[in-house]
Amino acid sequence: MGTEGANVRVIGGRYRLEAEIGRGGMGVIWRSTDTLLARQVAVKELGLDESLSEGEARLQREQMLREARAVAQLRHPNIIVVHDVVLDDGRPYMVMELVEGPSLAERLAQDGPVDALHAARIGLALLGALRVAHAGGVQHRDLKPANVLLESDTGRIVLTDFGIARVAGATTLTESGGFVGSPEYTAPERMQGGRTGPAADLWSLGALLCAALSGESPFRRDSLGGILHAVLYEEALPPAEAAPLLPVVRGLLEREPERRLDVDEAERLLRAYVATGATPQAAQARLPFLPPPLDTVVVRRRRIPTRVVLVAAAVVAAVTGAGISAAVLLARQDGDGQPPTSTAGPTRTETTTQAPTPTVTVTRAPTRTGQPPVTAPPGYRGVRDAKGFALAVPKGFSRSVDGPWVYYLSADRTFRIGVRVSAPQNGGPAATQQRAAAAGPRTNPGYRDGKITDTSHDAHDAALWEFTWDDPTSGGQARRVMDLCWEEGGRRYDIRVSAPVGRADEARGYFDAAVDTFAPPAGQ
């Protein structure tokens, strides 16, 4: 049993807890002395839910100890060294090396963002740590600046706090329907309550690199609901400071896990930058987007066979007492695109709150039996989108969603083909485009050379809006945009293609192919 003294406890008969140096939802970190070996260590006191029954508490202790012991087997210079795991008075403790130095979060708060070279080196260190962890069957699941330590004397970068890690073959603390973690750095597939793989840690690394370069996660918002909505539905827009590492950041923040950069490719790109100082070139996309089969339920931009029973786990805020259900978020995906109301703001304290499992209504993708296949010119492929429309897109382009827009993007995101289906607006297409153009300077940095041309599309009145703007996500690159708007069957359609100004002629070919092959949803 731990002994109490003048603010001092000794646990396990040898570890003297002397001063609290950190605290989180999963426990307290103590600066401690190993009295047997006469060395300084860090001891993590893992918190237990006092409301649990004796049997539940015992199971929770066994699970935590099993995971802690598994992490203790990991050996890598960028992973915290675990010396011991002990039970004292029925409570588990993890004994680790003491790293003298600030966390990355503290470093950013005190000194501001780091440069691209420093960020690349941080990324390489963490990729090395994740490679070893994943090979050992351990997913960290809480990769964020607060869990990255910077050793003052050596400059060593250390990944710590595997408190909510998942070990292959073991039931984890958070698989009972609750969500634990830091929403700004959590992969969308984890937010959606499904089982996740190592790719979720790589998404977190992408958000962490953005924070290192700019000072904050790209998903930071004014409310918890805003954060969750951004992670689940909004296109990840890396900060301008990420331009030197843009292929890495974009690749890590791919929403679909199977399209995300893996450890090998991310390492290759970062090493290339460290060696040359030049923005590395990403490889071609490994997997082309395939439209969902007709017997597939389309949910949360992931394709889930109809035979699978969908259970939406509660997405629980990393805020004491504040919860928001996955069902509320999912219901908004095809609505007005606004985040659900939440009065709670994000904090750095992680707690687990069990919320009732909500009911989710699953809607099948409309059956399009009898529709003719899309005729695609050479170098293109026909796509029948989950939104119901069809068109031809260049081979190798992949699908992404940003609010009401569906985009098909080239592998390096140089070319963007967007489609929006919405309700008609007053005044028809010309008036709609005039209003959009009037707001251009406010919505598009560096807006210029705007022009609207009245035209037609398939015998329907249409308006073509063209303009140039400076894209902050690509270092202020000047891009030319072509946007055709028309109304048909009680719906408004926009087809938009954009590209760097110097490649606008090539983009015009993509635009013409998209317009010429576009077919609205069946019945429209």
pLDDT at 27 over 60: yes
Which helix (H) or strand (E) is 118 found in, with range? helix 116-135
Average pLDDT over residues 184-200: 86
What size, in residues, is the chain? Answer: 524
On the question of pLDDT at 406 being above 80, the answer is yes
If you average pLDDT over residues 270-274, what whole number do you get?
Answer: 94
Residue 132 — pLDDT band, cuts 50, 70, 90?
very high
Over residues 41-59, the mean pLDDT reads: 77
Q: Per-residue pLDDT for 514 more than 60? A: yes
Separation of alpha carbons 308 and 304, rounded Å: 7
Q: How many Å apart are CA 512 and CA 524, to the nearest integer?
A: 22
Q: Can you tell me the distance from the alpha carbon of 12 to that of 93, in angstroms, rounded to the nearest whole number?
A: 9
Residues 263-286, mean pLDDT to the nearest whole number: 85
Instruction: Say whether pTM exceeds 0.75.
Output: no
Which tokens sit at 299? 């949910």
The distance from CA 12 to its chain's CA centroid, rounded to whole angstroms, is 40
Provide φ and ψ at 446, rounded to 5°: 70, 20
List alpha helices for 167-223, DSSP H: 188-191, 199-214
Please give the domain boundaries of the chain with CATH numbers for all domains: 3-97 (3.30.200.20), 104-276 (1.10.510.10), 380-517 (3.40.1000.10)
Which one, of 473, 432, 400, lies nearest residue 213 by Cα?
473
Residue 493 has phi, psi (to 5 degrees) of: -125, 140
pLDDT value at 320 more than 80: no
Cβ proximity of 18 and 33 under 8 Å: yes
Round the average pLDDT of the chain to a whole number and report it: 77
Whether residue 309 is predicted with pLDDT greater than 70 in this model: the reply is: no
Is residue 384 within 8 A of residue 371, CB to CB? The reply is yes
Which tens digits make up the pLDDT trace of 447-485?
A: 999 999 998 888 889 999 999 999 887 788 999 999 999
- H runs (alpha helix) in 445-502: none
Residue 237 has pLDDT above 60, yes or no: yes
pLDDT (0 to 100) of residue 108: 93
pLDDT of 3 higher than 90: no
Rounded to whole angstroms, the Cα distance separating 148 from 517 reads 50
Say if CB 398 and CB 413 are below 8 A apart.
Answer: no
pLDDT in tens, 63-109: 667 667 777 788 899 998 888 888 888 788 889 899 999 999 999 99
Residues annotated as part of the active site: 142
More confident residue, 1 or 462: 462
Most confident of 53-62, 220-229, 271-280: 271-280
- Determine how many CB atoms are found less than 10 A away from the CB of residue 289: 18
Tokens of 233: 């539905």
Phi, psi angle pair for 271, to nearest 5°: -65, -40
What DSSP character marks residue 250?
A: H
Helix (H) or strand (E) holding 157: strand 157-159
Between the alpha carbon of residue 391 and those of residues 122, 490, 520, the distances in Å are 42, 20, 9
